[in-house]
Amino acid sequence: MAETRVLNGSEILIECLKEQGVKTVFGYPGGAILNIYDALYKHQDEITHILTSHEQGASHAADGYARTTGKVGVCLATSGPGATNLVTGIATAFMDSIPMVAITCNVGVSLLGRDSFQEIDITGVTMPITKYNFIVKDIKKLADTVRRAFTIAQSGRPGPVLIDITKDVTAAEYEYTPQEPAPIERQTDTIREEDIETALEMIRKSQKPFIFVGGGAVLSGASEELKVLAHKIQAPVADSLMGKGAFDGTDELYTGMVGMHGTKTSNFGISECDLLIVAGARFSDRVTGNASKFAKNAKILQIDVDPAEINKNIHTHASIIGDLKVVLRKLNARLDPMNHEEWLQHVERMKDMYPLRYDKTQLTGPFIMETIDELTKGDAVICTEVGQHQMWAAQYYKYRKPRTLLTSGGLGTMGYGLGASIGAKMACGDMGHPDTPVFNIAGDGCFRMNMNEIATATRYNIPIIQVVVNNHVLGMVRQWQNLFYGKRYSHTVLNDAVDFVKLAEAMGAKAYRVTRQEDLKPVLEEAIALQAPVLIECQINCDDKVYPMVSPGAPIQDAFDDTDLKIK
């Protein structure tokens, strides 16, 4: 029988984190959370705490840790501004269904609602961007609340949970009895036999099936099942930004990303198919383009763990609600191999006709990503910020495994990637492969948002490789201004005196500047070998663009690139 002990609230919290197998947390102390930090000091041999430069960095690091491991990421912040600084990171995790527990502390119960120093209703602030949140004002409820938070964060469709604890609860004493974590069961009770039968009939009748893979395939660990299904029914496979790596990017059936900056093959293939099997994707507007014209020739079969996603953005002809891995196993077990050679040959011809293209004569974002892919052979974790560099990272790096692309897909958070890369590198160590290279690919605009986290990497000697793709502009916004706003570059030029190499060196990192193609590979090789925090600034042309592109409001089959513009 487990031993019951009397502990203060802070000790109870730490013991509950240990119950859940938490090895690393990210945070920033302050007055209201001091008792918890005192307890962390006493348990520093069991739980590693990474002090970030800003609470937003802590929330992104916890998110990156969760995306890399599949486990719950944990971040800590004090009351008031400490708690509100977590909000962007919590919203980022919420939009991408990432399991995270954010722990904040508030003023004592007697001071709540009195506009006390550094008091804020953080549960009210975060209600729309958390899966669930709690305020703990009674120490008797603390342990059960923490355990519930971890269960909620991981169950069904994952997401962030916030626990706000009043300072007096962190100091009060109560009995603590250890418990084994509740097992997280896959959601199967919603999988109906009639839905499986309908799906099987649709697949068997299809002559031109196509599989569209989203982030849910990564979260459910359904990679092997997807591969079996695609090859059994001979269906081409495209993915969303969040689905990268769920299906091997080097597989012969893979056609690339779909949507605004997807490949023409994927966009045309989805527009021509007669059955679209949607595996854990939510039909974001960046995927569908003009929703009324999306996949108009196809019956749509959507498989998702969250019933709220069915018919939310795109009308489906059939759906299966439940854990994707389990659903695909059921389908695979009852499907016989199918022959769609004519359809596959047509798709292969499109691949030959519409390859991704870029200027091979100078240093560009695509060249940077292809060089990193060549050096790592897919055995790396790629984090990104948001913008042109993010799309190049999605297009030109071949993600062979899930959980190797960490990016803000739903919220589009500039400043996400550097904190996430720190979390990812800590995760690699906790998972037993500390030598896996971790890159953060940033534009110069994004890097400015949270570049202070370079100091976090150097403080702990966390060997992340920060690549700054510097075009001296806000590249994606400039691209839109160039194409759709008459080249009126309103407040998007960043051509100032900031020297990223000196800045990184001032924070203790090794730094390089690359301006020519031939210098990139040796610098990357040296950066990987150093096993230290490194920044590489790569200077590119300010008018390089991400192609293909779909104009806002247009159907995805209207994707164009620079060759199409020249014809016009």
HSE, side-chain direction, 13 A CA sphere, residue 362: 10
Q: Is the pLDDT of residue 500 over 60?
A: yes
Cα 164 from Cα 127, distance rounded (Å): 12
- Cβ atoms of 532 and 510 within 8 Å: the answer is yes
56-82: pLDDT as tens digits: 999 999 999 999 999 999 999 999 999
* C-beta atoms surrounding 162 within 10 Å: 27
User: pTM value?
Assistant: 0.97
CA distance 40 to 122: 23
Q: How far apart are CA 238 and CA 253, in angstroms?
A: 9
Q: How many CB atoms lie within 10 A of CB 183?
A: 6
pLDDT value at 2 more than 80 = no
- Is 118 one of the catalytic residues? yes
Spatial CB neighbours of 222, under 8 Å, sequence gap ≥ 6: 246, 279, 280, 324, 325, 328
* The CATH number fitting domain 5-176, selected from 3.90.650.10, 3.40.50.970, 3.40.640.10, 3.30.360.10: 3.40.50.970
pLDDT at 565: 82
Residue 476 annotated among the catalytic residues of the structure: yes
Residue 439: closest CA among 527, 370, 504, 509: 527
Domain regions of the chain by residue span = 5-176, 193-353, 365-546
Which pLDDT does position 237 carry in this prediction?
Answer: 98
Q: Of 23, 71, 131, 167, which is the active-site residue?
A: 167
How does pLDDT run across 93-124, given as a tens digit for each residue? 999 999 999 999 999 988 888 989 999 999 99
Q: Is the peptide bond before 99 cis (omega within 30 degrees of 0)?
A: no
pLDDT of residue 366: 98
Write down the catalytic residue from 19, 118, 293, 505. Answer: 118
Q: Please choose, from the candidates 66, 69, 164, 179, the residue with its C-alpha nearest in 3D space to the C-alpha of residue 119.
A: 164
pLDDT of residue 255: 98
What's the pLDDT tens digit per position in 170-184?
A: 999 999 999 999 899
167 noted as active-site residue: yes
Q: Which of 449, 476, 507, 549 is catalytic?
A: 476
Mean pLDDT in residue range 292-316: 96
> Whose CA is closest to 134, among 110, 152, 155, 115?
152
Map tokens 């804020």 to a residue: 120
- The chain-wide mean pLDDT, for the chain, equals 97
Same topology, domains 5-176 and 193-353? Answer is: yes
**In contact, 553 and 540? CB cutoff 8 Å:** no
What pLDDT score does 342 carry?
98
Q: Which fold has domain 365-546?
A: Rossmann fold (3.40.50)
Distances (CA, A) of 40 to 139, 254, 408: 18, 47, 30
pLDDT of residue 568 exceeding 80: no
How confident is the model at residue 567, as a pLDDT? 72
Tokens of 472: 């001296």
- 10 Å Cβ neighbour count for 532? 16
How many angstroms separate the CA atoms of 549 and 560, rounded? 5
Class of domain 193-353 (CATH, top level): alpha beta
**Where do the H-state alpha helices sit in 412-537?**
416-430, 444-450, 453-459, 475-484, 500-506, 517-530
Do residues 120 and 79 make contact, with C-beta atoms less than 8 angstroms apart? yes
The string of pLDDT tens digits covering residues 478-490 is 999 999 999 999 9
Q: Which of 381, 394, 378, 379 is nearest to 427 (CA)?
A: 381
Q: Looking at residue 1, what is its pLDDT? A: 57
CB 256 within 8 A of CB 556: no
Q: What is the pLDDT of residues 320-349, one digit of tens each?
A: 999 999 999 999 999 999 999 999 999 999
Given 11, 15, 20, 55, the catalytic residue: 55
